[in-house]
Amino acid sequence: MPSLPALRRRPALPATAPLLAATGHTLAVAAPAAPPGSGPGGPPPPSAPRRPRATATTGSGPSGYLALLRLPGATAFTLGGLLARLPAGMFSVSAVLMIAASRDSYALAGAVTATGLAATALVAPWTARLVDRYGQRRVARPAAALTVCGALALVACVRLGAPAWTLFAAYAATATVPNAGAMARARWQALLGEDPARRHTSTSFEQAVDEVCFMAGPALAAVLCTALFPEAGTLTGVALLAVGITLFTAQRATEPPPHPRPATGSAAPLRRPGTAPLLAVFLATGIVFGTLEVTTLAFADTAGHAAAGGLIVGLQAAGSCVAGLVYGARAPAGPAVARLPVLLALLTGALALPALAATTGSAALLAPAVLCAGMATAPVMITAMTLVQHRTPPARLNEGLTLAVTAILTGIALGSALAGQAADRLTPGTGYTVALAAACAAIALATRLRAPALSGVRG
């Protein structure tokens, strides 16, 4: 594990003062350091300041999350990351509503968003590799600027009635969007080290932040696009991304050090044994997310409640956020590789609820069903992300986490395209059966994670 990047230094305490540190339910007391020159070897040689690493164990429950945010600089980069991630929940919904309103085709809207997500899936690992190699600040800011240009080009093409192919090209240009979630998780790992309880709490917290963004993002996008004008959601997302990345990367004290050259043993994550079936699980769950989102939006529109579609998608994220916080409040029982198939089975059962609710044609019945389905997603994602973090060397952490997100985006792209076709050609709500099938496939793939190729996985 590489040494932690330097934190902001605080004024030195008197040499005779004991050092106290409170984290969660634990109070650590350190004896005062001996004054320089008092040891047998005389004064120590000068050295670069080192970032202190908290070693107390994070308590369970809400105090564990508060202990994380009390770490120096944690609150600042969390707020910046929250703003930077909020557009991720807005862009696809905004694009679907904006294109469908101007071209009267959910199939075209779903195909455009699928193209953009597929382009992001191809470009994101390279962007993450640059982040690992050159640092978050140097790479994330220009990458976000390119994304802003692509999103603005999409708005211009829609507004001016440009040919359909320009929509695909413009949305594909947003593929350089930096993965703020992966960068935040890398900062937590640098701050917390190898403590499994604290890592579980931070992973759960980051999943909850993701869900907050995907809860507020679709709802905000739907309200802006329907109450103001169709392009309002995309324009707001552009502003939030620019401000959020700027604030996040301004927090230099918690930024992990770059790794210009991969460390010994830091093979590319894709080449590590057992990575392929784990990424396949992310791909299948991405199909679940993509079909749920587009099917819910199209179903609400067909039922005459277009604005409610974004709110219902937000309910899915709300359920996932609450479930993630509860799941992360206590240390899980058993290894993650054994928990994942069980959690996927629970998700499959929960996905049957919106499929049944859709047969009634009622958006009011669909809302609680989607909420329940959302509550089953967070434990799956937390457990799968834990496996990724445990298997990826620190020098390639952003790349490893982004590969997982890339697999999810690829699945979302496939799910969005399939759900768009189903919405145009079949009965409303048919896309929910696609989500069920994808969840069943994820269970079959997760059982392969028990193979000897993953025997070295911790957690």
Q: What is the pLDDT of residues 343-358, one digit of tens each?
A: 889 988 888 888 887 7
Confidence band, pLDDT 50/70/90 cuts, at residue 274: low
- Condensed to tens digits (0 to 9), the pLDDT of residues 297-336 reads 777 777 666 666 767 777 777 787 787 778 767 766 677 7
pLDDT for 206 beyond 60: yes
- In angstroms, the CA 267 to CA 35 distance is 44
For 82-116, letters b (16+ CB in 10 Å) and e give bbbbbbbbbbbbbbbbbbbbbbeebbbbbbbbbbb
- Best CA proximity match to 257, nearest among 353, 105, 137, 169: 137
Greater pLDDT, 426 or 269: 426
Decide if pLDDT at 60 tops 80: no
pLDDT band at residue 7 using 50, 70 and 90 as cut-offs: very low
Contact 386, 200 (CB under 8 A): yes
Residue 230 is predicted with a pLDDT of: 83
Q: What is the mean pLDDT of the chain?
A: 74
Residue with tokens 């768009």: 420
DSSP per residue, 241-278: HHHHHHHHHT-GGGPPPP-SSPPTT---GGGSTTHHHH
Q: Which of 134, 177, 189 is nearest to 392 (CA)?
A: 189
Task: Supply the pLDDT for residue 261.
Answer: 63
Q: How confident is the model at residue 59 (pLDDT cuts 50, 70, 90)?
A: very low
90-104, 118-132, 255-269, 417-431: least confidently modelled range:
255-269
Q: Please give the average per-residue pLDDT across 419-448, as a whole number.
A: 83
Please give the Cα distance from 285 to 382 (Å, whole number): 13
Average pLDDT over residues 276-281: 83
Q: Mean pLDDT over residues 106-122, rounded?
A: 80
pLDDT of residue 172: 86
pLDDT value of position 6: 39
H-helix or E-strand spanning residue 201: helix 196-227
Report the C-alpha gap between 340 and 344 in whole angstroms: 6
From the number of C-beta atoms within 10 Å of its C-beta (0-12, 13-18, 19+), residue 166 rates as middle
* Nearest in space to 113 (alpha carbons), one of 378, 384, 423, 355: 423
CA–centroid distance for 187 within its chain: 14
pLDDT > 50? residue 293: yes
C-alpha–C-alpha distance, residues 221 and 188, integer Å: 30
Tell me which of 164 and 61 has the higher pLDDT.
164
- Which residue stretches of 135-195 are H helix? 136-160, 164-172, 180-192
Q: Which residue has the higher pLDDT, 98 or 18?
A: 98
Q: What is the pLDDT of residue 16?
A: 39
Distance from C-alpha of 62 to C-alpha of 60, rounded to nearest angstrom: 7
Q: 204 near 324, Cβ under 8 Å?
A: yes
Position with higher pLDDT, 360 vs 146? 146
pLDDT at residue 152 in the model: 92
Give percent above pLDDT 70 in the chain: 75
Residue with tokens 């990724």: 388
User: Is residue 457 pLDDT above 70, yes or no?
Assistant: no
> What is the rounded CA–CA span in Å between residue 33 and residue 131?
37
Judged against a pLDDT cut of 70, whether residue 368 lies above it is answered with: yes
What number is the average pLDDT over the span 417-427? 79
Q: Across residues 113-136, what is the average pLDDT?
A: 81
The pTM of the full predicted model, rounded to 2 decimals, is 0.63
Please, where are the H alpha helices in 25-135? 62-70, 74-85, 91-103, 106-134
Please tell me the predicted confidence (pLDDT) of residue 433.
86
* Residue type, position 72, single letter: P
Is 14's pLDDT higher than 60?
no
- Over residues 429-443, the mean pLDDT reads 86
